[in-house]
């Protein structure tokens, strides 16, 4: 009995102990779920996870956030919210609600978000995935003591960055493309021998993740990291890295300027990902976090910092090509001639236009590749998606389908033929309206002149200079002339100018304000938009030029050399001191001139050099005009070169360009006179026009500066580069906008552009220029270009064969590592040269390999 009672007591005790143990276990389990839902210890520990990431080269991208630190001093970050980026301040960490014990969930971020007005006004709780890039270095770089000071500083610099974006010219296309190229190049770069990190491979990932079973997100995290690469060869970019590409000048870390630039870089990256197609957003990624403090607050968390990932070229090209093809199927906007395209679409459209004009692109070194394979991937994908052949005809049909080009029926010898024009039907119709407008204008001017009975007068606010002869000097192939030179005696003008200048120099530029003037907004809006979209004319295409505007419009706006025609111009008058070349005074007027005498550069040069007794009577006045103009302009140009460092640098660049052109002509290049295809020259005729247009630009710049008004400029045409402005309105959109601003400010015709409007015009022009500059094109004109190089290579081969000397004299062309071998015109790229060789530099090179038939020439620099 006693034994039975003892056994019963032992059983009850065991049951009681079991119950207590079970209750304790349940309490512990509940506690574990409520206090550490994000983390479970194992024998490896969380510190080892960070060590694993550091071991494989991800140390530079690890960011640890501490709640206590954030509450005292919030950390700036880039937040993706409602389709765009916003600046925010991370204030703390919060645990999410969790219902499963075995699910590791990242914490939430407590942030203060900046609104559209640039004010930190909204408190939010967001996912880590919404955070694009954390400015983890901010507290070390910027020593700001209080949160209020931090908020005020960021709001101020954000506003400054926004204003800077509105007013400054940022050639982002080149910068972003260079950034993209650098990241893609890193993708396949093998680790250096001194690299202390072993690359992480896909095969290692499951084994590593198996050591951390509680962290079920670890395998996915590692696979994402493998896709973008470790620190040294990462395809990731961020606003800090983008700053180095957008700005080439030095800016010390921690300066207010660097903060402004970082905001600008973040904006540019976001816009490029949307329209450029190069980068894709990659958010911050969760690694681990510690247990809670209280009230659902997380003590700390570790993240892999995010940014933007450079897409594979094939992925990017395929996406952009398909998007472009889809755009051609969209209904057209009621107010435009073609669908609204993104920047990436516009780039493809431009490439298609050049392809339709006979241009092709080479992406590899093979000369014998199929031409279809030499097309850029996005162009190929666009044409394939539209079920069109990868040819010039396919590109033409794509542009017609897009509405960018038009197909019209034209009667020729009683037969109808299909004619393709590289403008939309609406733009062609607008060009016809401009022709009619100009014809009516000619009648009005002729009528006004009759009423004045040949006396000097003002016609609609224009000074009538039609009685003064003038001369137009241009290339032999010129179709549309836009500048002319004239003179008149100072005594006939009534201007009170020092007697040191006997002659007034007149520089006339064709007036294109008909399509830019606000009063003609409705009538010629499509022409202005067409000029804005194309940006500039191209004359280096195999099938002919691709003009800024339809030829009918250009012909109506250009200077007419027909007898009794009246040309509307914008004229700079200038007085040059004939003793020392000083510019005494200058002004701008809207004028009417008569029919200029048309001369080629060779004609003008010969006329200047011929003896006066041998000049035909019909050219006596013409010679007098260009002789007086040359004498005065030469004095001014010489003085400017002596006194201006900018002019000296430009003169050196032109001299180098002329020397290289002479060497290329020695190889059998066609002796053109318009600068195309290595035909750059500086004869007396060329110098006359060059100095006159320089004077025009200098005068406009000075007059606008006196009025303290902005001027639209293309990138690279600034005063520091000796760039021109307003001198070629028939070829460049930006020159038309410059002319519009000049006559509004200096002549009171129209409403002046604001600073923002000038900068917007400049950015549009830069974008179009970047599109052209980034084309890697090789023109095939019945093999003529290749034949010229082969002929030059045969000269080099014969020289080596006869002399045995493989070391030859050469000169740098100023384009990367390109050189021209003297006396032959053969062009080659030097091996082992980093960066760009100084233009015009005399070099000694050694021929390594030469094969004239295959067009191969390998050279290297020699001491």
pLDDT at 776: 38
pLDDT at 43: 35
As a whole number of angstroms, the distance between CA 697 and CA 672 comes to 26
Report whether pLDDT(572) > 90. Answer: yes
Beta strand spans in 155-272 (E) = 236-237
Q: DSSP readout, 669-736?
A: ----SSSTTS-----HHHHHHHHHHHHHHHHHHHHHHHTT------TT-SGGGT---SS-TTTBHHHH
pLDDT at 197: 58
Report whether pLDDT(593) > 70. Answer: yes
Mean pLDDT of 489-501: 80
As a whole number of angstroms, the distance between CA 596 and CA 567 comes to 9
SS3 sequence, 754-810?
A: CHHHHHHHHHHHHHHHHHHHCCCEECCCCCHHHHHHHHHHHHHHHHHHHHCCCEEEE
Q: What is the pLDDT of residues 402-417, one digit of tens each?
A: 888 988 766 655 666 6
Mean pLDDT of 111-131: 90
Q: How confident is the model at residue 674 (pLDDT cuts 50, 70, 90)?
A: low
Q: How confident is the model at residue 349 (pLDDT cuts 50, 70, 90)?
A: confident
Mean pLDDT of the chain: 79
Q: DSSP readout, 539-593?
A: ---TT--B-SS-HHHHHHHSPP-STT--EEEEEEEEEE-TTT--EEEEEEEEEEE
Q: What is the pLDDT of residues 45-63, one digit of tens each?
A: 445 778 888 888 888 888 9
Report whether pLDDT(359) > 80. Answer: no
pLDDT at 724: 80
Report whether pLDDT(508) > 80. Answer: yes
Q: How confident is the model at residue 633 (pLDDT cuts 50, 70, 90)?
A: very high
> Over pLDDT 90: what percentage of the chain?
23
Structural contact between residues 214 and 245, judged by C-beta atoms closer than 8 angstroms: no
Structural contact between residues 195 and 232, judged by C-beta atoms closer than 8 angstroms: yes
Report whether pLDDT(591) > 90. Answer: yes
pLDDT at 88: 94
Most confident of 109-113, 240-244, 643-647, 756-760: 109-113
pLDDT at 22: 46
pLDDT at 663: 66
Report whether pLDDT(834) > 50. Answer: yes
- 812 forms beta bridges with 819
Residue of 184 and 674 predicted with greater confidence: 184
Report whether pLDDT(169) > 80. Answer: no
Q: What is the pLDDT of residues 684-708, one digit of tens each?
A: 889 999 999 999 999 999 999 999 9
Q: How confident is the model at residue 29 (pLDDT cuts 50, 70, 90)?
A: very low
Q: How confident is the model at residue 292 (pLDDT cuts 50, 70, 90)?
A: low
Residue of 414 and 860 predicted with greater confidence: 860
Report whether pLDDT(514) > 80. Answer: yes
As a whole number of angstroms, the distance between CA 186 and CA 57 comes to 14
Q: How confident is the model at residue 1 (pLDDT cuts 50, 70, 90)?
A: very low
Residue of 102 and 294 predicted with greater confidence: 294
pLDDT at 185: 62
Domains of the chain: 46-311 (no CATH), 315-421 (no CATH), 425-773 (no CATH), 784-861 (2.40.50)
pLDDT at 123: 92
Report whether pLDDT(711) > 60. Answer: yes
- Rounded to two decimals, the pTM is 0.66
Q: How confident is the model at residue 549 (pLDDT cuts 50, 70, 90)?
A: very high
Mean pLDDT of 760-785: 58
pLDDT at 8: 47
Structural contact between residues 828 and 861, judged by C-beta atoms closer than 8 angstroms: no
Residue of 100 and 68 predicted with greater confidence: 68
> Over pLDDT 70: what percentage of the chain?
78
pLDDT at 770: 63
pLDDT at 89: 94
Mean pLDDT lowest for which of 92-96, 196-200, 619-623, 813-817? Answer: 196-200
Report whether pLDDT(12) > 50. Answer: no
Report whether pLDDT(134) > 90. Answer: yes
Mean pLDDT of 488-498: 83
Report whether pLDDT(369) > 70. Answer: no
What is the 3-state composition of the chain as percent helix, strand, coil, each rounded to the nearest 5? 45, 20, 35
């Amino acid at each position: 009995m006693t034994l039975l009672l003892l056994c019963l007591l032992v059983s009850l005790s065991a049951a009681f102990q079991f119950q207590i143990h079970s209750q304790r276990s349940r309490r512990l389990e509940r506690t574990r779920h409520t206090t550490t839902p994000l983390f479970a210890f194992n024998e490896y520990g969380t510190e080892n996870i960070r060590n694993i990431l550091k071991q494989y080269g991800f140390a530079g991208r690890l960011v640890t956030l501490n709640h206590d630190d954030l509450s005292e001093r919030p950390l700036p970050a880039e937040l993706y919210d409602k389709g765009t980026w916003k600046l925010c301040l991370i204030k703390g960490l919060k645990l999410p609600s969790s219902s499963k014990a075995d699910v590791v969930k990242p914490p939430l971020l407590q942030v203060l978000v900046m609104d559209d007005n640039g004010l930190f006004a909204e408190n939010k709780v967001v996912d880590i995935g919404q955070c694009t890039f954390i400015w983890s270095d901010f507290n070390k770089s910027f020593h700001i003591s209080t949160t209020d000071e931090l908020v005020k500083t960021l709001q101020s610099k954000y506003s400054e960055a926004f204003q800077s974006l509105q007013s400054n010219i940022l050639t982002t296309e080149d910068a972003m493309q260079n950034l993209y190229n650098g990241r893609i190049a890193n993708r396949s770069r093998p680790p250096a021998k001194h690299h202390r990190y072993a690359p992480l491979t896909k095969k290692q990932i499951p084994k590593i993740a198996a050591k951390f079973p509680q962290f079920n997100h670890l395998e996915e995290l590692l696979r994402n990291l493998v896709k973008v690469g470790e620190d040294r060869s990462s395809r990731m970019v961020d606003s800090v890295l983008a700053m180095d590409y957008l700005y080439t000048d030095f800016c010390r870390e921690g300066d207010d300027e660097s903060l402004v630039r970082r905001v600008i870089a973040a904006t540019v990256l976001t816009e490029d990902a949307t329209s450029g197609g190069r980068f894709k957003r990659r958010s911050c990624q969760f690694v681990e976090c510690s247990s809670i403090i209280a009230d659902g607050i997380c003590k700390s968390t570790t993240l892999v910092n995010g940014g933007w990932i450079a897409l594979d070229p094939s992925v990017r090209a395929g996406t952009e090509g398909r998007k472009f093809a889809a755009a051609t199927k969209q209904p057209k906007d009621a107010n435009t001639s073609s669908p609204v395209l993104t920047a990436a679409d516009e780039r493809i459209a431009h490439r298609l236009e050049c392809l339709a004009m006979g241009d092709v692109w080479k992406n590899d070194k093979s000369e014998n590749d199929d031409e279809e394979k030499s097309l850029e991937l996005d162009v190929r994908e666009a044409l394939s998606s539209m079920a069109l052949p990868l040819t010039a005809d396919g590109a033409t049909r794509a542009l017609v389908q897009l509405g960018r080009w038009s197909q019209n029926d034209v009667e020729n010898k009683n037969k109808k033929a299909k004619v393709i024009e590289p403008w939309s039907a609406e733009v062609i119709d607008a060009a016809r309206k401009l022709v009619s407008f100009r014809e009516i204008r000619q009648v009005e001017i002729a009528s006004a002149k009759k009423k004045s009975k040949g006396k000097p007068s003002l016609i609609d606010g224009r000074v009538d200079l039609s009685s003064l002869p003038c001369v137009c000097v241009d290339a032999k192939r010129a179709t549309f002339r836009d500048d002319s030179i004239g003179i008149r005696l100072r005594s006939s003008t009534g201007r009170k100018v020092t007697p040191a200048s006997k002659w007034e120099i007149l520089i006339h530029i064709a007036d294109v304000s008909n399509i830019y003037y606000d009063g003609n907004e409705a009538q010629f809006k499509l022409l202005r938009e067409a000029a804005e979209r194309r940006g500039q004319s191209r004359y280096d295409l195999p099938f002919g030029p691709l003009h800024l505007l339809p030829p009918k419009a250009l012909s109506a706006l250009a200077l007419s050399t027909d007898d009794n025609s009246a040309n509307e111009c914008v004229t700079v008058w200038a007085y040059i001191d004939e003793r020392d070349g000083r510019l005494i005074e200058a002004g701008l007027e809207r004028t009417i001139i008569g029919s200029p005498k048309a001369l080629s550069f060779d004609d003008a040069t010969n006329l200047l050099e011929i003896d006066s007794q041998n000049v035909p009577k019909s050219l006596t006045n013409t010679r007098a005009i260009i002789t007086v103009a040359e004498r005065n302009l030469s004095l001014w140009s010489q003085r400017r070169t002596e006194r201006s460092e900018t002019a000296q640098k430009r003169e050196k660049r032109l001299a180098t360009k002329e020397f290289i052109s002479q060497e290329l002509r020695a190889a059998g290049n066609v002796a053109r006179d318009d600068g195309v295809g290595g035909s750059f020259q500086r004869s007396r005729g060329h110098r006359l026009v060059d100095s006159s247009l320089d004077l025009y630009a200098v005068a406009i710049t000075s007059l606008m500066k006196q009025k303290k008004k902005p001027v639209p400029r293309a990138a690279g045409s600034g005063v520091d580069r000796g760039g021109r402005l307003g001198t070629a309105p028939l070829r460049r959109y930006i020159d038309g906008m410059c002319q519009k601003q000049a006559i509004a400010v200096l002549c009171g015709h129209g409403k002046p552009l604001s600073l923002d409007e000038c900068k917007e015009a400049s950015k549009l022009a830069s974008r179009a220029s970047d599109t052209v500059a980034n084309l890697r094109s090789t023109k095939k004109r019945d093999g003529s270009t290749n034949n010229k190089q082969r002929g030059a290579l045969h000269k080099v081969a014969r020289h080596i064969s006869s002399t045995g000397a493989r070391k030859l004299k050469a000169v740098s062309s100023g384009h990367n590592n390109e050189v021209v071998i003297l006396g032959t015109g053969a062009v080659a790229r030097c091996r082992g040269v980093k960066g760009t060789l100084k233009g015009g530099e005399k070099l000694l090179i050694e021929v390594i390999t030469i094969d004239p038939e295959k067009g191969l020439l390998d050279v290297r620099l020699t001491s």
